[in-house]
Amino acid sequence: MITRSSVPLQRPGREPRPLPIQARWQTQLARAIRDPRELCRRLGLDEAWWPGAERGHALFEVRVPEAYLARIRPGDPADPLLRQVLPLAEEAVPMAGYVADPLAEAEHAPAPGLIHKYAGRVLLIASPACAVNCRYCFRRHFPYEENAPSRAQWETTLDHLRCDATIHEAILSGGDPLAASDRQLAWLVERLAAIPHLKRLRIHTRLPVVIPERIDDALLGWLTTTHLQKVMVLHINHANEIDEAVIAACRKLSAAGVTLLNQSVLLRGVNDSIGALAALSERLFEAGILPYYLHVLDPVAGAAHFDVADDEARELVAGLREVLPGFLMPRLVREIPGEASKTPL
Ligand SMILES: *Cc1c(COP(=O)(O)O)cnc(C)c1O
Ligand code: SF4
Pocket test for ligand 1, best of 140, 293, 300 (most atoms within 8 A of CB): 293
Q: Tens of pLDDT along 213-269?
A: 999 999 999 999 999 999 999 999 999 999 999 999 999 999 999 999 999 999 999
Looking at residue 148, what is its pLDDT? Answer: 67
Looking at residue 2, what is its pLDDT? Answer: 38
How large is the average pLDDT for residues 31-46?
A: 96
Predicted confidence band of residue 10 (pLDDT cuts 50, 70, 90): very low
Predicted confidence band of residue 120 (pLDDT cuts 50, 70, 90): very high
Which listed ligand is nearest to 295 at the C-alpha?
Answer: 1
How large is the average pLDDT for residues 112-138?
A: 92
How large is the average pLDDT for residues 289-298?
A: 97
Verdict on whether the full-model pTM lies above 0.85: yes
Pocket test for ligand 2, best of 115, 132, 142 (most atoms within 8 A of CB): 132
Kindly report the protein residue whose alpha carbon is nearest to atom 4 of ligand 2: 137
**CB-count exposure of residue 227 (10 Å: 0-12, 13-18, 19+):** exposed
Ligand 1, atom nearest to 335 Cα = 1
pLDDT at residue 104 greater than cutoff 80 = no
Residues within a 6 A CB radius of ligand 1? 118, 121, 123, 171, 173, 204, 341-342
How large is the average pLDDT for residues 100-106?
A: 74
Which listed ligand is nearest to 65 at the C-alpha?
Answer: 2
SS3 99: strand
Q: Tens of pLDDT along 160-195?
A: 999 999 999 999 998 899 999 999 999 999 999 999
Predicted confidence band of residue 8 (pLDDT cuts 50, 70, 90): very low
Residues within a 6 A CB radius of ligand 2? 130, 132-134, 137, 139, 174-176, 206, 235
Q: For residue 129, report the distance from its CA to the centre of ligand 2, in Å.
A: 9
Range list of H helices, the chain:
25-30, 36-42, 50-59, 66-69, 82-85, 151-162, 182-193, 207-210, 217-225, 244-255, 274-286, 310-323
Which domains are assigned to the chain?
25-92 (no CATH), 105-344 (3.20.20.70)
198 in Cβ contact with 192 (< 8 Å): yes
Q: Considering only 32-46, 91-105, 202-216, 275-289, which range has the smallest mean pLDDT? A: 91-105
Q: Which of 175, 337, 333 is nearest to 263 (CA)?
A: 333
The average confidence (pLDDT) of the chain is: 91
